[in-house]
A and B are shown apart, each in its own frame.
Chain A
Amino acid sequence: MSNLSLSAQTPFRRALGEPSVLIGATLLLLLVALAVFAPWLAPHGPNEQDLLSTLLPPAWAHGGDRSFPLGTDALGQCILSRLIYSTRVTVIIALTAPLGAALLGCALALIAGYRGGRIEWAILRMVDLWMSFPAIVLALVLMVALSPGLLNVIIAIILVDWTRFCRVIRADVVVLRRKDYVAAARITGASHWQVVMKDIVPGITPTLVSLISLEMGISVVAESILSFVGMSVEPHVPTWGVMIADGLKSVFSSPWGLIAPVACTVLTVLATTCLGDGLRRTSDPRLFNRSGS
């Protein structure tokens, strides 16, 4: 009975009833709003330097300046403004890289899990191969080959992180493929493509959704790591990773340039973890399997 009442609600409604989903989604929406309205919200331009007021503390601290609410960095750039403008790269990465990695990973997982045989063996060995390289080393090597830029960062993250999706989703597909309803669909004359799209893909969606939201956090951190070592977007584009690197250099004279971007990154990662955990709880695949069989 409980399953019946569960499936009567739409997954969307159920997810909204979960506090962690709400918290995570609200924080991420806030991030998107900051990114979109950055020019109106930021008090200064992201690269505007005021060399007379470098390394200022926040406005509330002793020696702070009202026009720089969170203080300035070593070049006299407004930390708050750079934080706000940095959300643009963060949001673009968080929205595109996980989807790309999911598409690539799922396509290969569906082929491997559904077809089985030699092609599955080959895809699994490829996953092994990829995973036996430290992700950061692979990403750096790819960035060297691709040269800096937002699109290339996205490509590099996709090419590194598709394995995460491939491994998990393939395991799901292998289970789903053996379901009676898949055999039934084949007997009634459905093509392989129809079976995959109508019977397998809906089955992997809950796992996929929570994986994607976790990957949002992972890709944001990946970008900030690449920025930190100077291998991400063009140098004039502000990102939290660049701010962390700059902040670390002048941490002895003013820790605020480091605290602010780290806090933002941690908060974003926690928001995606919240969202992912909540989504997994509200769309637990085991519940789906039980009501499906």
Chain B
Amino acid sequence: MSTLWRILWRVPMLLFLAAIVFLVLRVLPADPMGMLLPPSATPADVKALTEALGLDKPIPMQFGIWLGHALHGDLGRTMQSGQAVTPLILKALPVTLQLIFCGLVLGVIFGIGGGLLAFRYRGTRIERAVEVINSISISVPEFLWAILLILGVGIGLQWLPFLGQLDANLTVQPVTGFLLIDAIVAGDLAAWWSGVKHLALPSFALSLGIAPPLMRILHSSLLEAYTEDYIAAARLRGLSENRILVRHALKNAALPTVSMLGIQASTVIGGTLLMETIFGFPGIGSLMVNAIGANDLPMIQGLALTYAVAVQAVNMATDAALLLLNPRLRTP
């Protein structure tokens, strides 16, 4: 029951998050009027714009108005160009989602693969090697990994590109916004391959942040699962070691691993902001960095909310996965 409650709890949490962002940005010392109006603006102009933007109303009321619009999908207009915020975010979002997806998939593959490998060959050099790689990748944050990868693989070995989503001479007509899908839709294999190559380094850097904790927790939960009676029973029934590992132990060890993945959701999603900035991807992270440079409040607010929603969505998904995986959580 508590899991279901936790899923429901995320709704008021989102409201709180939105309120926090709103409040933090309203104590801003910078004056948005100064940026919006030319230096020759009269006090009357300032007053008119303040009223037009609703900045003269009390803060709770401003929040109410903003929230009402946000619930209808309207996040206001940017202060830089006057364009509506929502379509700009929606246009950039697929780039970020694609990066999150690739980073997560790689991270899970490395984490689970490493954990299984270290466990299957426990007590051997392979286990030691996996643990050493693990400690190295965990002790350097992904921001620095990204730069190290650029230096090593991008510039030193010149194996992979590290700027933008595609080679400069290629273009893909956006349909879904997800570059890899669009390239397939267009039947352009060269562009697809170029997209994959450009995605490789940022996704790998992201995965280095996720994989080590996953590997560690899977390794220790497998060790714990193997002390249980059902493993001995399975062995007595003559099942092979591999079958015991995958069908019996892994199923039980998966639970803490999935919760760990949920905890890391915010790390991965925050990580994309840096990856996009470093690798020049036009996702919501780049949008955020631009908006922050220009003190563009509606944009910053909208993007912060988008990030919060993304984290909550991943958390909800992991909660749901836990509910499916663990029958004990389902019984009231």
Q: How many residues of A contact B (CB 8 A)?
A: 38
**Does A231 interact with chain B (Cβ within 8 Å)?**
yes
CB distance from B245 to the nearest CB of A (A): 30
**Hey, which chain A residues are within 8 Å of B71, CB to CB?**
none
Closest A residue to B307 by CB, please name it.
A137
CB atoms of A262 and B148 under 8 A apart:
yes
Report the bound CA distance from A266 to B149 in whole Å: 13
0/1 interface trace, chain A 118-152, chain B, CB 8 Å (1 if under): 00000000001101111111001111111100000
A258 CB–B CB distance under 8 Å: yes
Residues 308 to 325 of chain B near chain A (Cβ within 8 Å): 308, 311-312, 315
Say yes or no: B277 contacts A228, CB within 8 Å: yes
Q: Is B1 an interface residue (CB 8 A)?
A: no
Whether B20 lies near A129 (C-beta < 8 A) is yes
Q: Smallest Cβ distance from A237 to chain B, in angstroms?
A: 18
Does B282 reach chain A (CB closer than 8 Å)?
no
Interchain CB contact under 8 A, A132 and B311:
yes
B292 at the A/B interface (Cβ < 8 Å)?
yes
| Chain B residues positioned under 8 Å from A133 (CB to CB) | 17, 266, 304, 307-308, 311
Once the chains are docked, how many angstroms separate the CA of A122 from the CA of B27?
Answer: 24
Q: Which of B80-88, B137-145, B170-178, B188-196 contacts A (4 or more CB under 8 A)?
A: B137-145
B13 near A132 (CB under 8 angstroms)?
yes
Instruction: Give every chain A residue within 8 A of B16 (Cβ-Cβ).
Output: 129
A142 to B28: give the CA distance in the assembly, Å. 9
A136 touches B270 (CB 8 A): yes
Contact of B143 among A131, A137, A145, A225 (CB under 8 A): A225
B33 within 8 A of partner (CB): no
The verdict on B267 contacting chain A, using a C-beta distance below 8 Å, is yes
Most buried by A among B16, B20, B266: B266
- A216 in contact (CB, < 8 A): no
User: Which applies to chain B's interface (DSSP): helix, strand, loop or mixed?
Assistant: helix
Contacts of B307 in A (CB 8 A): 133-134, 137
Are the CB atoms of B278 and A248 closer together than 8 Å? Answer: yes
- Does B266 lie within 8 Å of A144, measured CB to CB? no
What are the interface flags for A224-251 relative to B under an 8 Å C-beta threshold, 1 for contact and 0 otherwise?
1100111100000000000010001001
Whether the pair A221, B144 counts as a contact (CB closer than 8 A) is yes
Cα A96 to Cα B258 with chains together (Å) = 35
- A132 B144 Cβ-Cβ under 8 A: no
In the assembled complex, the CB of B292 is this many whole angstroms from the nearest CB of chain A, namely: 5
A273/B30 contact (C-beta < 8 A), A129-B20, A137-B304, A259-B151 known: no
Give how many B residues have a beta carbon under 8 Å from the other chain's beta carbons. Answer: 43
Q: Which residue of A lies closest to B156 (CB)?
A: A255
- Are B29's CB and A141's CB within 8 A? no
Complex Cα distance, B303 from A136, in Å, reads 13
- Which A residues are CB-close (under 8 A) to B29? 145-147
Question: Within the complex, which residue of B13, B150, B155, B267 is in contact with A134, where a contact is CB–CB below 8 Å?
Answer: B267
Report whether B147 and A244 are in contact in the complex, using a CB–CB cutoff of 8 Å: yes
| Whole-angstrom distance between the Cβ of B199 and the nearest chain A Cβ | 19
Q: Considering the chains assembled together, what is the distance between the CA atoms of A134 and B24 in angstroms?
A: 16
Contact A145 B304 (CB under 8 A): no
Task: Tell me the nearest residue of chain B to A131, going by C-beta.
Answer: B266
| A221 and B143 in contact, given A145-B25, A255-B155 (Cβ under 8 angstroms) | yes
Q: How far, in Å, is B133 (CB) from chain A's closest CB? A: 15
Given A228-B143, A248-B278, A269-B139, CB of A258 within 8 Å of CB of B151: yes
8 A Cβ contacts from A167-221 to B: 218, 221
* Assembly CA distance A269 to B148 (angstroms): 14
In the bound complex, residues from chain B placing their C-beta under 8 Å from that of A252 are 155
Cβ-defined partner of A132 (8 Å) among B17, B28, B273, B303 = B17
- Asked whether, in the complex, the Cβ of B147 is within 8 Å of the Cβ of A262, the reply is yes
Complex alpha-carbon distance, A131 and B311, angstroms: 10
Contacting pair A134 B139 (CB below 8 A): no
Give the complex CA separation of A273 and B144 in angstroms.
Answer: 15
Give the distance in Å from the alpha carbon of A128 to the alpha carbon of B262 in the complex. 12
In this complex, the member of A137, A225, A255 whose beta carbon has the largest number of chain B beta carbons within 10 angstroms is A137
Look across to chain B and name the residue whose beta carbon is closest to the beta carbon of A255: B155
Q: CB distance A262 to B312 under 8 Å?
A: no
Kindly report which residue of chain A lies nearest to residue B311, judged by CB atoms. Answer: A132
Minimum CB distance partner of A140 in chain B: B292
Quick one: closest A residue to B26, CB to CB?
A145
In whole angstroms, what is the CA distance A141 to B30 when docked? 13
Contact B274 A136 (CB under 8 A): yes
CB-defined contacts of A228 to chain B, threshold 8 Å: 143, 274, 277
Residue A22 at the chain B interface, CB threshold 8 Å: no
Residues of B within 8 A of A221 (CB): 141, 143-144
Give the CA-CA distance A255 to B151 in the complex, in Å. Answer: 8
| B-to-A contact residues, CB < 8 Å | 13, 16-17, 20-21, 24-25, 27-30, 139-141, 143-144, 147-148, 150-151, 155, 266-267, 269-271, 273-274, 277-278, 288-289, 292-293, 295, 300, 303-304, 307-308, 311-312, 315
Known: A132-B312, A251-B151. 17 other contacts (CB 8 A): A128-B13, A133-B307, A134-B271, A136-B273, A137-B288, A141-B300, A142-B24, A143-B292, A144-B28, A144-B295, A147-B29, A225-B274, A248-B150, A251-B150, A262-B147, A269-B140, A273-B139
Cβ contacts A to B, 11 pairs, < 8 Å: A132-B311, A132-B315, A137-B273, A140-B292, A144-B25, A147-B29, A225-B143, A251-B155, A255-B151, A265-B144, A270-B140
| Residues of A bordering B, CB below 8 Å | 128-129, 131-137, 140-147, 218, 221, 224-225, 228-231, 244, 248, 251-252, 255, 258-259, 262, 265-266, 269-270, 273
The 9 A-B pairs at the shortest CB distance, nearest first, are namely A134-B270, A136-B270, A273-B139, A134-B266, A137-B307, A145-B24, A221-B141, A145-B28, A262-B147
